[in-house]
Amino acid sequence: MSIESMTGFARASGTAGVHGWAWEIRSVNGRGLDLRVRVPPGFEVLAEAARKRLTGAFARGTLHVNLSVTSDAGPPRPRVNETVLAALLDAIEKLPPASGINPPTFDGLLGIRGVIEYADEAEDALGAIEKPALAGLEVVAEALKEARAAEGRALEAIVLGHVETISRLTTEAEAHPARSSEAIRARIAAQVETLLGSASGFDPQRLHQEAALIAVRADIREEIDRLHAHVVALRELLAKGGPIGRKLDFLAQEFGREASTLCAKANDPGLSRIGLDLRTVVDQMREQVQNVE
């Protein structure tokens, strides 16, 4: 299973008689799944279908979903409400005759509110496009998924490149001469000698104990082991695929912590350079993994 990006765009359109429809979905980063669906008034049933379909297809991302509907039907078509007209005629027949009042005419009856109605264009359009628009929703959802998958494949290559660089820098730090016990001992001995030569009253035994503590704190073995372990874990996550963006972001934070600690412990220009390079690569990697679903 490959990974997917949270960014992508897809569009699908079609016609049904005089009515046209078009779905557009724009997907960007999000902490969770946030669906923002817009449809014309009267098409709410399609909005609900879109929410249900996309909720099942995606785990994370902010999806801006828009349905546009067009029509070449012309002006609204009038129609007679025959039920209302029949009721009016029946009521008129039951009225007693009145002198000086002309009998009702059709033009007068048709002018009464409710007798003439205009076709609900939204209702007519929904009936015409509902089935093809729902089929188009499937098409646009699959197209968005493929767009996000294609972006995900590109992201995976970038992240793997960063992981290779992190692994190489970690190996360089592990093999660096400055982290050998002899190098650490020499640096501490020089510092102690400087202290003893500049002041009196130091307890040599206490100095030895403090030097031992400094040596322990200067050892970056633990940070190197954790960096190697994080490299293995990240590669396994990428191989597994799926919605792993949150896990990747957590691992990127862990990489950052270890790189910062390595810099703090380095006490050597060469190791400091490696630590700074590590932090730079980790920051770049974290920017990328935040795009992963």
> How far is residue 286's CA from residue 259's CA, in Å, rounded to a whole number?
13
In the block, tokens 């007798």 appear at 115
Helix (H, G, I), strand (E, B) or coil at 232: helix
| Angle at CA of residue 238, ends 232 and 241, nearest 5° | 140
Please tell me the predicted confidence (pLDDT) of residue 163.
97
Largest CA distance in the chain: 134
Per the CB < 8 A criterion, the answer to whether 275 and 262 are in contact is yes
Q: Which long-range contacts (CB under 8 A, 24 or more apart) does 163-171 make?
A: 163/231, 163/234, 163/235, 163/285, 165/281, 166/227, 166/231, 166/255, 166/278, 166/281, 166/282, 166/285, 167/228, 167/231, 169/274, 169/277, 169/278, 169/281, 170/224, 170/227, 170/228, 170/231, 170/278
Please tell me the predicted confidence (pLDDT) of residue 166.
97
Structure tokens at 10: 């897809």
Structure tokens at 130: 């509902």
Per the CB < 8 A criterion, the answer to whether 148 and 8 are in contact is yes
Please tell me the predicted confidence (pLDDT) of residue 112.
83
Q: Any idea which of 36-50, 97-111, 234-248 has the lowest mean pLDDT?
A: 97-111
Higher pLDDT, residue 191 or 8: 8
- Confidence band of 276 (pLDDT split at 50, 70, 90): very high
Q: Any idea which of 113-127, 135-149, 203-217, 232-246 has the lowest mean pLDDT?
A: 203-217
Per the CB < 8 A criterion, the answer to whether 217 and 265 are in contact is yes
Asked if pLDDT for residue 104 goes beyond 70, the answer is: yes
- Confidence band of 95 (pLDDT split at 50, 70, 90): confident
The torsion region of residue 270 among left (phi > 0), alpha (psi -120 to 50) and beta comes to alpha
Q: Which of 190, 173, 151, 192 is nearest to 272 (CA)?
A: 173
> How far is residue 35's CA from residue 24's CA, in Å, rounded to a whole number?
13
Helix (H, G, I), strand (E, B) or coil at 92: helix
Give the pLDDT confidence of 148-186 residue by residue, as tens digits.
999 999 999 999 999 999 999 999 998 887 766 666 666
- Confidence band of 206 (pLDDT split at 50, 70, 90): low
For the chain, what is the mean pLDDT? 86
Structure tokens at 223: 């940070």
Per the CB < 8 A criterion, the answer to whether 149 and 8 are in contact is no
> How far is residue 84's CA from residue 95's CA, in Å, rounded to a whole number?
17
pTM of the predicted model as reported, rounded to 2 decimal places:
0.72
Give the pLDDT confidence of 15-44 residue by residue, as tens digits.
988 889 999 999 999 999 999 999 988 889
